[in-house]
Amino acid sequence: MSEPTAPVYRRIASALEADIAAGKLNVGDKLPSERVMAEELGISRMTARQALQHLTARGILVTRTGHGTFVGRPVIQQKLSTLSGFTEEIEQQGRHASSVVMEFGAHKADDLCSVALNLPLGGDVYRLVRVRLVDGEPVAMETTEIRADVAPGLLDVADFASESLYAILREHYHVLPASAEQTLQAALSSPAVSRTLQLGEHAPVLELTRRTCDANGNPFEYVRSVYRGDSFVMKANLTLGANATQ
């Protein structure tokens, strides 16, 4: 609840956010224009504009040039400084994570995977391809490859539509992720990704790759993911280096 002394635009923004949380406004709904909002609420257009800009800056609303302001898709925070599984991270934010398994089986590692996992070309891996969903909406495509010698029999122990891979590796194989090398870059969606994630043609996406190692520094997982660009905020905590100067 907003404080009584909060600026008028903040109180209006809080009321709009409450309506969205209560389901009175849904993703994709168009909001009144600044002029209409000002007339209905008895405020200035500047105040209406500030309220809309406040929520737009936080990703709650989106502005489409020439069309207006709409309720945006809820933004998911992905922490780049914390090594955790997708399921755990989403559920920590009070939302429901699930997956659609597109492929799961034994494979031969390709060039990139072989290098990442210190395997000979064509080494044995388990490949798991999933569409990741948050609250039932597709938000990412993820291809995960696990060294087969790290998790023998993995094909028989899990339902990856609802279970966390990291939880299964921990409970069945005593494999714990301890460190990872991760890269992130902006890209445009391919036709296949657009169809799967319900995006427009050549929509902005985030491509992430990660090599995960155990406590001994041995790589066991290689992940290639594509995230919806309108659904994720990548967050990192930074500290000043010991030799840095200001």
Q: What is the mean pLDDT of each run of 10 residues along the chain (246 residues)?
A: 69 90 87 93 93 84 86 69 69 80 95 96 95 88 96 86 85 92 92 92 92 95 92 68 60
Buried b (16+ CB within 10 A) or exposed e, 39-65: eeeebeeebbebbbbbbbeebbbbeee
Cα–Cα dist 199/106, whole Å:
30
pTM to 2 decimal places: 0.69
For residue 108, give the 3-state DSSP assignment: strand
Cα–Cα dist 40/32, whole Å:
9
What pLDDT is stored for residue 62 in this prediction?
A: 84
Instruction: Report the Cα 205 to chain-centroid distance in Å.
Output: 11
What pLDDT is stored for residue 8 in this prediction?
A: 92
Contact between 156 and 180 (Cβ < 8 Å): no
Exposed/middle/buried for residue 14 (C-beta within 10 Å: 0-12, 13-18, 19+):
middle
Within 13 Å, how many C-alpha atoms sit on residue 105's CB side? 4
